[in-house]
């Protein structure tokens, strides 16, 4: 196999959907025994031992997690497609694979709006 340059690899990744890129990252982590989230966990663990977490700081980024689609799966798929740039198949796979994150690191207003829309369609949603 020919070796790809960094620019060529980035070009390939630009053509992937978010779902495909997420699957690639999982496969990469499994293949090489690494975790992309390790620096975040280390930074969080680096806080002073015994000191309470900074509870006074209000959370400003939220993840919208679909817990279950409920009885109206088609309506939930439509809402997921409206909230994301996913195609029909990707949105259907995401809804059927619940619990899954629909949106990550969005502001509180967008997270609340997405939660309301998904719950209106019959889904069970949590904000993290």
Q: Write out the chain's pLDDT in tens, 128 residues.
A: 578 888 888 888 788 887 887 788 888 878 877 776 544 444 455 555 555 555 556 777 888 888 888 888 899 888 888 888 888 998 889 888 878 888 888 888 888 888 888 888 888 888 88
CA distance 75 to 81: 10
Q: Determine if the peptide bond prior to 99 is cis (ω within 30°).
A: yes
Which tokens in the block code for residue 10?
A: 């980035």
- pLDDT at position 41 is 46
Residue 49: its pLDDT value, please? Answer: 55
Beta bridge partners of 101: 65
pTM of this prediction exceeds 0.75: no
Predicted pLDDT of residue 38: 47
Largest CA distance in the chain: 53
Q: Looking at residue 19, what is its pLDDT?
A: 80
**72 SS3 class:** coil
Q: What is the pLDDT of residue 98?
A: 79
Strand runs (DSSP E) across 1-128, as ranges? 62-68, 100-106, 124-127
Question: From CA 116, how far away is CA 119, in angstroms rounded?
Answer: 5
């Amino acid at each position: 196999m020919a070796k790809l340059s960094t620019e060529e690899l980035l070009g390939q990744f630009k053509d992937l959907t978010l779902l495909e890129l997420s699957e690639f990252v999982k496969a990469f982590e499994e293949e090489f025994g690494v975790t992309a989230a390790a620096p975040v966990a280390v930074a969080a663990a680096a806080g002073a031992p015994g000191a309470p977490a900074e509870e006074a700081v209000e959370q400003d980024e939220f993840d919208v997690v679909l817990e279950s689609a409920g009885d109206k799966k088609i309506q939930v798929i439509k809402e997921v497609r409206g909230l994301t740039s996913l195609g029909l198949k990707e949105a259907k796979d995401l809804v059927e694979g619940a619990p899954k994150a629909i949106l990550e690191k969005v502001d509180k207003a967008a997270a609340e709006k997405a939660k309301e829309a998904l719950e209106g369609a019959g889904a069970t949603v949590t904000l993290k």
